[in-house]
Structures are given as structure tokens and as C-alpha cells.
């Protein structure tokens, strides 16, 4: 990937557990976003965190950003089977609107 | 709420044929982006348009071209198709000044045989 790596590449948990996914990137950014993709379908925007923010919450989602380490994490609390999907981080940097995606984490939540 | 519309949803072509993918952005959105996602891969940016002008360009092969029309819809034209062009092609739209959040369409799955 041009941007970096996500880990783990795959994660399998039980319903009710928390899921944590990590993303690293290589260049300075304006913002970092997380998207969800159900198998072979469209990308759904989950949350955006700007480079001057350190943490953001949205419902059961919590995102952190560490610009010194060029990394971010997405925490999904109290997971549900419907959370089963691939999760991608994507960044935007100054002067460009294009999204640069990481390789994604495939999350499976078992009922 | 209206979403991004892409057509066709599925397309099967043979090698060396041409394909045209269409994208209709969310009403009042003026910027369109195209991304390619190969099997098991992350989406890769191809090209974007703002007010009918190309605004950014990524790893788009010379065999591909795109344009945005006066009604803001966009078309991605692909010629001399190769097996490696088989992928999901996503269109996304945004409103200038709010480009941080892009709204994605359902994608067109192109299979080249």
C-alpha cells in the first residue's frame, strides 16, 4: 500500500467483545478517516479525525490519532454480528482531496 | 437521502474490448472521484473532477480516460481491457469545501475474461 499497513489483517471475536484495529501511515496528513466495507460492496464512511485531534467518539466507535507515531486505532465496543466487515483507514494530506487507503482489517464477529 | 448511483453494477467484457462506467453524484455535489479496488486489495485512487475539470490524478492507466459533464455526472472509459483490469470500480462524490468526507457509490464490478 502507498499509505501503510493496518493490523491485524484479520480479526475474529465473539459478540459483545471489543475490537481494536490499527492503522499506520507514512506522510503528514490533514485528516484520517475510517470506512467500513461489507463483502464486495460499497464503502461507508464511519468517522473522521483531523490531524489536530487526538481522540474522537461516535456511538460505539472510538478513534485515536497519534501523529508523532503516524498511527491511528479504531475501537468498536460491544461488537455485534452486524459489525462483520472489512475496515479501512484512509488519509488525506494537504493540497490533495484524494483518499489514500490502508490495506484493511477483516473483522468477523461471531454470534 | 439520495446516494451516489453507479451503472452498470456488473459488467463482463473480453480482453481488448472497451467499457464505459457511469457515475451520478449526490445532488448538488460538484466533485467526483474514481477508485479501483482489485480482489483482496485496498481501493486505489484513479482520478477526480471538480466543475468538469480534472482536479487530481492517481495511478490511472493511459488506456483509461474520464470526464465530468455539465450535469456533474462522470464517465470512466476503459479501452484495450486487460485481465488485470478486473476489479470493483467506485465512484465517490463530495461538495467543494467539504471534500474531507466522500460519499461512495455501490461500485461497478468489472470482470474481464
Per-residue cell: A94: 494537504
Structural domains of chain B, ranges and CATH numbers in brackets: 5-101 (2.60.40.10)
Cβ pair A111, B51 in contact under 8 A: no
Residues on chain B touching A90 (C-beta within 8 angstroms): 43
Distance from CA of B17 to the nearest CA of A (A): 24
Is the N-terminal amide bond of B56 cis, ω within 30° of 0?
Answer: no
- pLDDT at position B98: 64
Q: How far is A107 from chain B (nearest CA, A)?
A: 14
Please answer yes or no on whether B33 and A98 come within 8 Å at the CB atom: yes
E strands along A1-111, which residues? 6-7, 10-14, 19-24, 31-37, 43-50, 55-58, 61-66, 71-76, 85-92, 100-101, 105-110
* Mean pLDDT taken over chain B: 93
Predicted confidence band at A1 (pLDDT cuts at 50, 70, 90)? very low
* Listed residue (A41, A64, A7) closest to B109, CA to CA: A41
Q: Cα separation of A37 and B101, whole Å?
A: 16
CB B36 within 8 A of CB B88: yes
CA of A38: which chain B residue's CA is closest? B106
Span A1-49+101-111 CATH architecture: Sandwich (2.60)
Q: Which residue of A has its CA nearest to B107?
A: A42
Q: Is the pLDDT assigned to residue B2 strictly greater than 90?
A: no
pLDDT value, residue A14: 97
| Domains in chain A: boundaries | 1-49+101-111
Nearest to A20 by CA among A80, A69, A70, A61: A61
* pLDDT of residue B73 exceeding 90: yes
Q: Residue A4's pLDDT is what?
A: 59
Share of chain B above pLDDT 70, in %: 96
Binned at pLDDT 50, 70 and 90, residue B15 comes out as very high
What pLDDT digit, counting tens, does each position of A4-48 carry? 567 788 999 999 999 999 999 999 999 999 999 998 788 999 999
Contact B58 A101 (CB under 8 A): no
Average pLDDT over residues B78-103: 89
Exposed/middle/buried for residue B98 (C-beta within 10 Å: 0-12, 13-18, 19+): exposed
Quickly state the pLDDT bin for B35 (edges 50, 70, 90): very high
Q: Which residues pair with B56 in a beta bridge?
A: B48
Confidence at residue B56, expressed as pLDDT on a 0 to 100 scale? 92
Nearest CA in chain B to A39: B40
Q: How much is the mean pLDDT over chain A?
A: 92
Section A54-79 average pLDDT? 97
Q: What local confidence, expressed as pLDDT, does residue B34 receive?
A: 97
Residues in chain B, overall count: 113
* Residue in B with minimal Cα distance to A36: B104
Chain A residues at the B interface, defined by Cβ less than 8 Å, are 1-2, 30-31, 33, 35, 40-45, 48, 88, 90, 92, 96-104
pLDDT given at position A2: 43
CB atoms within 10 A of CB B92: 28
Chain B residues with CB under 8 Å of A96 CB are 56
Q: H/E element holding B91?
A: strand B87-94
Amino acid at each position: 500500500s502507498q499509505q501503510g499497513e493496518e493490523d491485524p489483517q484479520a480479526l475474529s471475536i465473539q459478540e459483545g467483545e471489543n475490537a481494536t484495529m490499527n492503522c499506520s501511515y507514512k506522510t503528514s496528513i490533514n485528516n484520517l478517516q475510517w470506512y467500513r466495507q461489507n463483502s464486495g460492496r460499497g464503502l461507508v464512511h464511519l468517522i473522521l479525525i483531523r490531524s489536530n485531534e487526538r481522540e474522537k467518539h461516535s456511538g460505539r466507535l472510538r478513534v485515536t490519532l497519534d501523529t508523532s507515531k503516524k498511527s491511528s486505532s479504531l475501537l468498536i465496543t460491544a461488537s455485534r454480528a452486524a459489525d462483520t466487515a472489512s475496515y479501512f483507514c484512509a488519509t488525506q494530506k494537504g493540497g490533495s482531496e484524494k483518499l489514500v487507503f490502508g490495506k484493511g482489517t477483516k473483522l468477523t464477529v461471531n454470534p | 437521502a439520495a446516494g451516489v448511483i453507479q451503472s452498470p453494477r456488473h459488467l463482463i467484457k473480453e480482453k481488448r474490448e472497451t467499457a464505459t462506467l457511469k457515475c451520478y453524484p449526490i445532488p448538488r455535489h460538484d466533485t467526483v472521484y474514481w477508485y479501483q479496488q482489485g480482489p483482496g486489495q485496498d481501493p486505489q485512487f484513479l482520478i477526480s473532477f471538480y466543475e468538469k475539470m480534472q482536479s487530481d490524478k492517481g495511478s490511472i492507466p493511459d488506456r483509461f480516460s474520464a470526464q465530468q459533464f455539465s450535469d456533474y455526472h462522470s464517465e470512466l472509459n476503459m479501452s484495450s481491457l486487460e485481465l488485470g483490469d478486473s476489479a470493483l470500480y467506485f465512484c465517490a462524490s463530495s461538495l467543494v469545501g467539504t471534500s474531507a468526507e466522500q460519499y461512495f457509490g455501490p461500485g461497478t464490478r468489472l470482470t474481464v475474461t
